[in-house]
Structure 1
Amino acid sequence: MSLLEQLGATRSGDTGALVYGMPQETADGSVIVTVARTGGILRPVARPVGVFVVKDGQATWTAAVDATRIAMFGQTIGLVSATLALLAIVRRPPWPDLSR
């Protein structure tokens, strides 16, 4: 039984399915298998999920982290917060009413 069969490799046409890359052997004898998730509405997209590293009979999982997506999410939250704060101040300023 091959490594891909043990991992339960699926076809790349399945929406949301995990797709395993071909195992690559490094110089130190480790085997690296990339994992991606398929999807997309208008066009098929494969987003990286992580990698399996098999060394000395021990498999470890390393998740892929999309730092750009995390940064954009933080900037969007900051922009929305600043907009809501500005709207709150414009509708009811924090200073007292000066008219009689």
Structure 2
Amino acid sequence: MLVFGEPYETASGTVLVTVTRQGRRGGPGRAVGLYTINADGVTWTPAVDQGRISLVAVCTGLVAAAFSTLAMVRRPPWPNLTERAMIAQAESAKRRR
């Protein structure tokens, strides 16, 4: 349920009305946005939750780091430098000559 706050009039004659969403079981609500009423008309400015945006960014980075680590463990991008691979590479180089 949306709850509209008390109108606040600034010195320039602009009226601001806050809008919040009521919390569950009467708990604290979350800010939804702000209505700005002036001589030009009414504008709606949505509230932005910076904490949630930051959390999504951090989680995205964590998942990307986990996937890249998994890819490196399964098959690293550098050449296979085991003894058997080095011997096979030397033998194939001899055959090409």
Offset of residue 39 of structure 1: 3.4
Q: TM-score w.r.t. structure 2 length?
A: 0.70
Residue 50 of structure 1 pairs with residue 60 of structure 2: no
Offset of residue 99 of structure 1: 4.9
Q: TM-score w.r.t. structure 1 length?
A: 0.69
For 1:28, which of 3, 6, 12 is the aligned residue?
12
Offset of residue 67 of structure 1: 2.2
Structure showing the higher helix proportion among its residues: 2
Q: How far apart, in 2, do the equivalents of 1:90 and 1:52 lie?
A: 53
Aligned length: 83
Other structure's SS at 1:45 match = coil
Offset of residue 38 of structure 1: 2.4
Q: How far apart, in 2, do the equivalents of 1:43 and 1:95 lie?
A: 59
Give me the CA root mean square deviation.
2.2
Q: Which residue does 1:60 correspond to in 2?
A: 43
One-letter identity of the residue aligned with 1:54: I
Offset of residue 23 of structure 1: 0.9
Q: How far apart, in 2, do the equivalents of 1:52 and 1:23 lie?
A: 9
Offset of residue 27 of structure 1: 1.4
Aligned-residue identity in percent: 47
5+ residue gaps, structure 2: 85-97
